[in-house]
Amino acid sequence: MTGGKRYMSSRGLTPREIVERLDKYVIGQGEAKRAVAIALRNRWRRQNVTRELGEEISPKNIIMIGPTGVGKTEIARRLAKLDNSPFFKVEASKFTEVGYVGRDVESMIRDLVELAVNMVKSEEQENVKPKAAEVAEERLLDILIPPRPAEKKVEELVSEKHWEVTDIEHPAQFDSTREKMRRLLRDGKLDNRYVDIETSEVRSGPMIEVFTSSGIEDMGLNIKEMFGNIFPQKKKKRRVKIPEALEILQQEEAQRLVDMDKVTKTAVERVEQSGIVFLDEIDKIVGSNSTHGPDVSREGVQRDLLPIVEGSTVNTRYGMVKTDHILFISAGAFTATKPSDLIPELQGRFPIRVELDSLGRGEFIRILTEPHNALVKQYIEMLATEGVSLVFTDDAIAEIAEVAALVNERTENIGARRLYTVMETLLEEISFNAPDMEGAEVVIDAAYVREKLENIIEDEDLSRYIL
């Protein structure tokens, strides 16, 4: 990382590629996808201009406007996954609740860092896995054939200068026993044997709960860790099967091999360079023009958010974290209010506005079947575990979509979430009976859908309760 180019590690995903990847999970909402794709690409661009200019370029934060259940959160979450960015979702309205009132808005950055530390730590543990496996194997062999004090290594004997021929033969023999044992171990011949191993307890002593929302946490202290260091680490002897012993030792070694200083440094850097905060329900902190009652605190939250979104430094357990380049994506339904009702300073920090479309019958058909994790696929796979094969005809899918759209229209529009309630009700009987139906093939056609749902749809009150 010298002067000019920074992090020129990969060519990054182009906006078009980002949209294509999002298409695999989210149907429609092209405008929102384009906006987030550009935001992500802009980060890559910023990281490739000179450091000096890069510092000046602030992220173009986004407000997503749209009714509930149309994919706002889904788009942001998938975006973060594409880029391996630390992603934290928080409801803006949470900060207006009693007990939070404003000042703890910084906690979202602390949570984001915490999350990034765990993320980097598990990546690192993955990286050291081969090494950890090697060391664990040696440790296990030490336990299986403990080197007796008399048997010193050849090098030790040589250095001690009093070796005799008989002394060398012995370790050689010992080595060959060890190698034989290693082979047995690797071939799984020892899998049913038990072994005693001593493990240091991984911080699972008495649980210490700390009831404070700020205070101690603000000072960057961690009570559990402090006590963890005061109390001596407990060693515990356990008798376990060989494969499990190997697993335990590997994990222990992986923990030991991971350099936590490096982890936290990388995590903080990743948060600063590519963190994404998803601020949901931003419309709930818009106050109407009156200056009394809860509205004051709502506007207060906006004011508290301002420095974080504009770029400031937040004190965390892992050190100071600069928020200047964190991407903020906010979302809200904005039914009674508009983004222009936000305080002007905050509006300026969210220059990109995108509207998401409400979803209808056509989208529902696609959402049911197309995404990688589509609901219909989920149910088919779930019931396959019971030996039941579920088949949906095309007209059944169309009928389900129709019902969902209709109920959204007549009662409350909860977007694609309606599909969940409709599917659950539709398949309730099969879900319950599946264990007794092994080997059966169940065809869900339009008639079946109508039969199961007709009464409920016709009675508006009933659909309010059931769907």
Ligand X SMILES: Nc1ncnc2c1ncn2[C@@H]1O[C@H](COP(=O)(O)OP(=O)(O)OP(=O)(O)O)[C@@H](O)[C@H]1O
Q: Which two tokens stand for residue 50?
A: 């000179």
Residue 26 interacts with which of ligand X, Mg ion, none, CB < 5 to 8 Å by class: ligand X
Rounded to an integer, what distance in angstroms lies between the CA atom of residue 326 and that of residue 268? 11
**Rounded-to-integer distance, Cα 190 and Cα 152, Å:** 26
Q: Is 271 in the site for ligand X (CB under 6 A)?
A: no
Interacting residue with ligand X among 18, 22, 26, 449 (CB under 6 A): 26
Which CB, 73 or 421, lies closer to Mg ion?
A: 73
Tokens standing for residue 264: 């936290």
DSSP secondary structure, 334-351, as one string: -SSS-GGGS-HHHHHH--
User: Which residue's Cβ has the minimum distance to Mg ion?
Assistant: 73
- Residue 360 near ligand X by CB under 6 A: no
Cα 7–11–13 angle (5° rounding)? 115
246 close to 137: Cβ distance less than 8 angstroms: yes
Q: What angle do CA 167, 171, 174 make, to 5 degrees?
A: 140
Does 413 contact Mg ion by CB under 5 A?
Answer: no
Whole-number Å distance between alpha carbons of 27 and 364: 9
Q: Report in angstroms how near the CB of residue 461 gets to Mg ion at its nearest.
A: 28
The distance of closest approach from Cβ of residue 27 to ligand X in the complex, given in angstroms and rounded to an integer, is: 4
Kindly tell me which of 356 and 444 has the beta carbon lying closer to ligand X. Answer: 356
| Chosen residue from 42, 48, 58, 73 binding Mg ion by CB under 5 A | 73
Cα 368 to Cα 16, 404, 406: the distances in Å are: 24, 11, 16
**Cβ atoms 53, 80 nearer than 8 A:** no
Tell me, by CB under 5 A, how many residues bind Mg ion. 1
List the single partner that 434 binds among ligand X, Mg ion, none, CB under 5 to 8 Å by kind: none
Measured CA to CA, the distance from residue 24 to residue 75 in angstroms comes to: 11
Residue 69, interface with ligand X (CB under 6 A)?
A: yes
Q: How far is the CB of 64 from Mg ion (least distance, A)?
A: 9
**275, 326 in Cβ contact below 8 A?**
yes
Please tell me whether residue 71 binds ligand X under the rule CB under 6 A: yes
Among 396, 410, 398, 380, smallest CA distance to 449 is for: 396
Return contacts of 431-438, CB within 8 angstroms, 24+ apart: 431/383, 434/383, 434/386, 434/388, 435/386, 437/386, 437/387, 437/388, 438/386, 438/387, 438/388
DSSP string, 183-194: HHHHTTTTTT-E
Min dist CB 274 to ligand X, Å, is 21
Binding flag, residue 73, ligand X (CB under 6 A): yes
DSSP helix/strand/coil, 104: helix
Q: Which of 102, 228, 339, 371 binds ligand X (CB under 6 A)?
A: 371
Which is closer to Mg ion, CB of 73 or CB of 313? Answer: 73
Using rule CB under 6 A, residue 367 touches ligand X = yes
108 closest CA partner among 221, 277, 269, 264: 277
Q: Give the C-alpha separation, 198 to 218, whole Å.
A: 37
With beta carbons less than 8 A apart as the criterion, state whether 388 and 45 touch.
no
Q: Which is nearer to ligand X, 333 or 426 (CB)?
A: 333
State the Cα–Cα distance between residues 168 and 181, nearest whole angstrom.
Answer: 20
Tell me: does residue 285 bind ligand X (CB under 6 A): no
CA distance 331 to 347: 13
Total residues interacting with ligand X, rule: CB under 6 A: 18
Q: Residue count of the chain, please give it.
A: 467
CB of 86 to ligand X, least distance (A): 19
CB of 246 vs ligand X, minimal distance in Å? 39
The answer to whether residue 413 forms part of the interface with ligand X (CB under 6 A) is no
In the bound state with ligand X, the residue whose beta carbon lies nearer, of 18 and 416, is 416
28 binds, among Mg ion, ligand X, none (CB under 5 to 8 A by kind): ligand X
**CB under 5 to 8 A by kind: which of ligand X, Mg ion, none does 63 bind?**
none
- Nearest residue (CB) to ligand X, 70 versus 132: 70
283 lines the binding site for ligand X (CB under 6 A): no
Site for ligand X in 27-46 (CB under 6 A): 27-29
415 lies in the binding site for ligand X (CB under 6 A): yes
State yes or no: residue 77 binds Mg ion (CB under 5 A).
Answer: no
337 part of the interface to ligand X, by CB under 6 A? no
417 binds Mg ion (CB under 5 A): no
Q: Can residue 70 be called a binding residue for ligand X (CB under 6 A)?
A: yes
Point out which residues bind Mg ion (CB under 5 A): 73
Point out which residues bind ligand X (CB under 6 A): 26-29, 68-74, 280, 333, 367, 371, 415-417
